[in-house]
Structure 1
Amino acid sequence: MTKIDERKNIIVSLKPTYKEENKGIEKRIQFLKGMTLVNIVLTIISAGIIVLSILAEIIDYEIFKWQKLALMVILSLSFIMNLPNQFYELKLLKHLKNINSKSEFDGIDKLNSELKIIIDKLNNRFKSNWSIIFLAFGILIMGIWQVLIEDKNPYWNYMKLPILAFYAIILFRFINTNKRLYENITETEKHCS
């Protein structure tokens, strides 16, 4: 097996966000582009409303009533949790398509091992992201409590900071992982061309 084939196997080892068996790379890329675009729009709208509401309340201006935003918080959790993985998968499938008929070069071993580490971490996201999952679970419980028994949840007003912290952690991890993935893919494609 060549080192390029090894790299292709590493890319294919990424657990897909959506089960799409027996579809070619091009169809999977098109499907993921559409789903990622929809998820980006929904994430921006839902998280934007929440962040805007929290920031507006700081200056004593109420755009959306915080007590009524619990369902929006729950929806934003589901959107934002999947978005980074969809983006990484799309990026890796495009890379797979670009290196499909390329030859090996010196230094590909190091790039392959770095890529394997990144993909292993993405595949084991529950083990490596336990703090995010714990925080998301807490926010989810509080949100469900607020939706089901409105005005009976005395802790809902205190959930603003954990929600902002959750968004910040997701954003920070996305930027960090995306940067590492971008550098690895760019370096590989630079030498393959």
Structure 2
Amino acid sequence: MNFKDLLVETIVNPASAARRIMALNLTDEVVWTGFALNVVLSVLLYAGQSVLLGDPSNALFPGLSPALFGAFLVVLQLSYTAASMVAARWMGGDAEFGTILGLLVWLRIVNIVVQVIAIAMVFVIAPLAVLFNFAAALYGLYVLAHFTKEGFGLSSLGKSAGVILLAGLGAMIAVLILMGLFAPTILETSNV
């Protein structure tokens, strides 16, 4: 299996791709190395986007330095993984932390590829880049639902959607607490 084949399979048959990744029985060292790689690539992309397109227009993390963006990304991804495990157990699923983190690491790497394509499209046909981003985000949720279903052995995509929603809320609470502790000025909403 190579990167391109797994990337295509993730897009056309996400459930099969998730099963294939789980069948690799990745060691903790491989998963954590992949996690570190995805954080570094995400930070480089964030910094590159600010150079190419101006400050990233990220409503969730406005005006963060690349280093601070990386720190919040680490918290967001790890808290999402932990929250998804709690939510999945409540919905009758179960998995090891490393297995779920490995699946999410792969999805983040796929997302980085999609973001690079979207940034390139801005220079060719900007309106098409906006549509591409929107479609990719919606389809990304579909792929995540399949990965969540397979990863936790859930019985339906409905339960998978519930896990995604609950885990997303849990992760956002963790990030907001962290922002309140270490970067409280980001949480100010007054424009007066």
Bigger CA radius of gyration: 1
When normalised by structure 1's length, the TM-score is: 0.32
